Structure formats: C-alpha cells, structure tokens
Amino acid sequence: EGNIVKLFLNRLFKSRRGLAIMVCSPTVAGESNIESLILKSDRRRPFVACPCCGVEQILSWDNVDFKTSSGKVDPDIAAYVCTSCHQRWAENERKRLLMTEGAVPWRQTRHFECCGERQDPMINQMWDGHFAVCKKCERHAVSNKDAGFEEASAIYSPEEELPNMAREWLDCQGSR
C-alpha cells in the first residue's frame, strides 16, 4: 500500500488524534523511514554540563575511558571524560547529574537558515531553553512542530554502571 509510516500518520491524523511517537534504531542510512522522520524533525539531543568546567556536551561512548596510565585496559576504572577540560567524572557524579531534575535538557540541534545564513546550533551553542536561536537576531528559528529525540545511550542511565558497560563492550569486541 506504500510507505508504512505515511499510511500510519495519515490514518492517525484522520482520526483526530494528533500525537505520534515512533521509536526505532535506524540501521541502514538512507533506507530507514524513521531516519527520514528524524532528519525532518527539530533533532533534539540530550546535553549534560561537566561538573568540573560546566561545558555542556552530548555524552558519547568515545569519551568513556577505562585504560590505566600505562595503557592497560581495566573496566573497573571506567569513567566519563569531559570533552572540554578532559577531567574524569566520578561515577557517583555522573549518576547525580543524570538524576538531577532539569540537568539534562533536550535541545534542538537541527541546522537552520536565518538572517541569510545557514546556522548550526551544535557549533553556535545558542539556545533559549530547549530551542535553538539565531546567532544574529536571537529568534527561535527551528519549528518544534515535529520534535525528534535522538542518541540517548545507556550512558545516560543512572541505573547503569560504566564499569559494567565497559565489560560488556570488551566482551562484544572479543577483548576479554
């Protein structure tokens, strides 16, 4: 009958129920219906401020460190490392940040055109709360009609322990 997502949305909105939540992990770039919806959305991503320097960042597995000073792999010392000041976050600090109300704002990150310029909220780092703003006129420039939330890995879960995640990662890599 055609694109399953379009059929679903068409039927949903004809029934006058205006909220659709679609959850998926797109695997093949350029071929996923969910990916195309994410790319059309305002592309919100979760930010966390470093407890040492205050720089807000998106938590990424690339910043989880579990090597000793001699370079030996030790999952028991796994810690998140700030992208800016390079300080290791104590595991209890990471969990405290994630459990603090309002400490993980989901901000719009979609590129947009305003004041004759293409702008990137991830580079400009200019938001009014959760909403991206133009670096010149400071107007909200991205519609929030279609909110899309992406990239919240287990690192954002205060119930998950980084050492356990590091062990699982090493097992998947065949490194243990």
In this prediction the pTM is 0.81
pLDDT in tens, 117-139: 999 999 999 999 899 999 999 99
pLDDT in tens, 146-169: 888 887 789 999 999 999 999 999
3-state helix, strand, coil in the chain (%, to 5): 30, 20, 50
| CB-based contacts of 137, cutoff 8 Å, min separation 6 | 114, 115
Q: Would residue 174 be called left, alpha or beta, if left means φ above 0 and alpha means ψ between -120 and 50 degrees? A: left
Q: State the DSSP string of 84-113.
A: TT-PEEPHHHHHHHHHSTTSS-EEE---EE
DSSP 134: -
* H or E element at residue 44: strand 44-46
Taking the C-alpha atoms of residue 26 and residue 22, their distance in angstroms, rounded to an integer, is: 11
- pLDDT category at 28 given cuts 50, 70, 90 is confident
* H or E element at residue 46: strand 44-46
The Cβ of residue 5 has, within 10 Å, a number of other Cβ atoms equal to 16
* H or E element at residue 79: strand 79-81
